[in-house]
């Protein structure tokens, strides 16, 4: 980017460049690559953005109403335009949301949407169950209704894709419909093609690449050695242990409860994710506004408690006894972590072995219940919906984890955020789910290139308009 000093417009501008993978999709509903998704905030906008504190900040939404049963939301739009000058309409929004609802990246968050519909001046979303915080799920990029399947659809954000001398770059819109303060500025952003993390690291250190977004938990992660500034960006990915209720060990709630105290979560964050993550004993991001910090502080690392529970069940006396910890061996970071956890738990006096299976076999073993424990990960929705763990047909319900009371508490928390405390308390009491950490990504920036970065989940270049989210909501 050519960054112009507002105090001296005649000063020679600096330059900034970003990376992208040419062999990965750029369509926002098809793109799962972290590096490419980092560009999307500069090109697209949603009805809302979600900041790093899990507050839904209005962007394309001017105001909205909610029915008393919290099952019908009506959203009215700002007078926004796409980069070709055409207006963003309710039909564009509904077409975009429908496309997102069938995508791998966004689809899970819309499982309780009964219908998306457009009126002449509004977007209506009808739900099957009450939601208090539906806007947290509506940071989906909006594109023109006829372009949802295009490789690079138009957006309403501050930059637009541009072909220049056979290369792809981003150009700052001079007709951008709003005037938010951006973390980056200038007329042109150069895009540098990449194919490997090593190539991007070398381009950052030797070829002028200004910003690199990386996954510290990836096997392909490489260390940087040049002078840089470093930010983190939470991903919302929860890493956890879960028990099998049919296990001869973990059918006992006492042992399940002791397990949550037997894991040194801070050590896992440092050892396996290079410090990029947040340890958590509750199935939520510690940055979530309804995360009960006092409740979390009740869980203290205490491996002796697990040893005492093992002794009470006389498991140490059974020489052939072995707890089986299932893990996906295709995820090398998780594989190493599972081995570490198995070694750590084995110090209690009972043998813990790992069952290391390729992804397809791992999933089959989960569905058959062929484990005592498994080490999993999932991307939590921004409203921390845990229903998939406890619903009988839930996508994450393995090892007879389904629990009608916990599932009901999930619904109550979604409808009224004051119920999150009760939900988390009962999850700790139940002990089937043992959260470990929430992952973060690392953002390397050439020193002095940016003054600040408020990177938020799914939104590296986060910006807002300073609008009070509560001021635009009306109850019908």
> What is the DSSP code string of 78-109?
PS-B-TTSPBP-HHHHHHHHHHHHTSTTTGGG
Residue 106: phi, psi to the nearest 5? -105, -15
137: DSSP letter: G
Q: For residues 281 and 404, give the distance between their C-alpha atoms in angstroms, rounded to a whole number.
A: 22
Confidence at 9, pLDDT banded by 50, 70, 90: very low
Q: Which two tokens stand for residue 255?
A: 């042992």
Tens digit of each residue's pLDDT (9 = 90 or more) over 153-185: 999 999 999 998 888 999 999 999 998 888 888
Q: For residues 143 and 169, give the distance between their C-alpha atoms in angstroms, rounded to a whole number.
A: 19
Tens digit of each residue's pLDDT (9 = 90 or more) over 109-137: 999 999 999 999 999 999 999 999 999 99
Confidence at 6, pLDDT banded by 50, 70, 90: very low
Q: Are 209 and 200 in contact (CB under 8 A)?
A: yes
Q: For residues 365 and 43, give the distance between their C-alpha atoms in angstroms, rounded to a whole number.
A: 42
Higher pLDDT, 257 or 451: 257
Element (H, E) at 39: helix 34-43
Q: For residues 255 and 265, give the distance between their C-alpha atoms in angstroms, rounded to a whole number.
A: 18
CB atoms within 10 A of CB 35: 20
Longest dimension (CA), the chain: 80
Q: Which two tokens stand for residue 324?
A: 């089986």
Has residue 13 got a pLDDT over 60?
no
Confidence at 92, pLDDT banded by 50, 70, 90: very high
- pLDDT value at residue 448: 79
Closest residue by Cα to residue 241 from 350, 105, 394, 352: 352
Task: Give how far Cα 458 sits from Cα of 28, 158, 386, Å.
Answer: 11, 17, 19
Q: Which two tokens stand for residue 430?
A: 């139940």
- pLDDT value at residue 452: 80
Rounded average pLDDT over 385-409: 96
Confidence at 268, pLDDT banded by 50, 70, 90: very high
Q: For residues 476 and 469, give the distance between their C-alpha atoms in angstroms, rounded to a whole number.
A: 17
Closest residue by Cα to residue 43 from 145, 146, 189: 189
Q: For residues 121 and 117, give the distance between their C-alpha atoms in angstroms, rounded to a whole number.
A: 11
Q: For residues 444 and 214, give the distance between their C-alpha atoms in angstroms, rounded to a whole number.
A: 8
196: DSSP letter: S
Share of the chain above pLDDT 90, in %: 75
């Amino acid at each position: 980017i050519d960054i112009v000093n507002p105090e001296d417009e005649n000063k020679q501008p600096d330059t900034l460049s970003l990376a992208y993978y040419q062999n990965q999709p750029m369509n926002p509903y098809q793109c799962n690559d972290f590096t490419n998704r980092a560009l999307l905030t500069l090109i697209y906008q949603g009805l809302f953005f979600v900041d790093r504190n899990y507050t839904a900040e209005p962007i394309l939404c001017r105001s909205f109403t909610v029915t008393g049963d919290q099952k019908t939301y009506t959203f009215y739009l700002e007078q926004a335009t796409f980069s070709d000058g055409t207006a963003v309409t309710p039909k564009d929004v509904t077409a975009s949301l429908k496309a997102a609802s069938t995508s791998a990246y966004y689809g899970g968050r819309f499982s309780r949407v009964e219908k998306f519909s457009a009126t002449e001046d509004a977007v209506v979303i009808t739900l099957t169950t009450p939601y208090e915080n539906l806007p947290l799920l509506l940071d989906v990029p909006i594109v023109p209704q006829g372009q949802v399947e295009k490789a690079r659809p138009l957006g309403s954000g501050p930059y637009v894709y541009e072909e220049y001398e056979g290369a792809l770059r981003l150009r700052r819109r001079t007709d951008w419909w709003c005037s938010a303060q951006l973390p980056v500025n200038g007329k042109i952003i150069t895009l540098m093609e990449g194919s490997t993390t090593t190539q991007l690291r070398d381009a950052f250190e030797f070829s002028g690449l200004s910003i690199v977004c990386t996954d510290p938990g990836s096997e392909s992660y490489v260390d940087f050695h040049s002078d840089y500034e470093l930010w983190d960006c939470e991903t919302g990915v929860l890493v956890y242990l879960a028990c099998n209720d049919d296990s001869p060990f973990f059918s006992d709630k006492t042992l399940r409860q002791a397990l949550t105290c037997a894991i040194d979560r801070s050590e896992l964050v440092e050892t396996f994710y290079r410090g990029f993550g947040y340890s958590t004993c509750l199935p939520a991001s510690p940055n979530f506004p309804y995360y009960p910090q006092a409740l979390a502080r009740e869980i203290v690392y205490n491996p002796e408690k697990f040893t005492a529970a093992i002794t009470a069940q006389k498991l140490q006396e059974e020489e052939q006894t072995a707890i089986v910890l299932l893990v996906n061996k295709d995820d090398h970071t998780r594989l190493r972590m599972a081995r570490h956890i198995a070694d750590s738990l084995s110090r209690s006096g009972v043998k813990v072995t790992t069952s290391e299976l390729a992804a397809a076999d791992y999933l089959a073993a989960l569905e058959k219940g062929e484990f005592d424990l498994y080490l999993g990960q999932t991307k939590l929705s921004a409203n921390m919906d845990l229903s998939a763990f406890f619903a009988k047909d839930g996508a994450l319900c393995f090892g007879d984890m389904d629990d009608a009371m916990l599932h009901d508490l999930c619904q109550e928390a979604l409808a009224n955020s004051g119920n999150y405390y009760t939900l988390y308390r009962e999850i700790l009491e139940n002990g089937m789910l043992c959260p470990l950490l929430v992952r973060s990504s690392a953002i390397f920036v050439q020193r002095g290139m940016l003054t600040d970065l408020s990177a938020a989940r799914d939104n590296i270049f986060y910006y807002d308009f300073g609008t009070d989210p509560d001021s635009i909501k009306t109850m019908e």
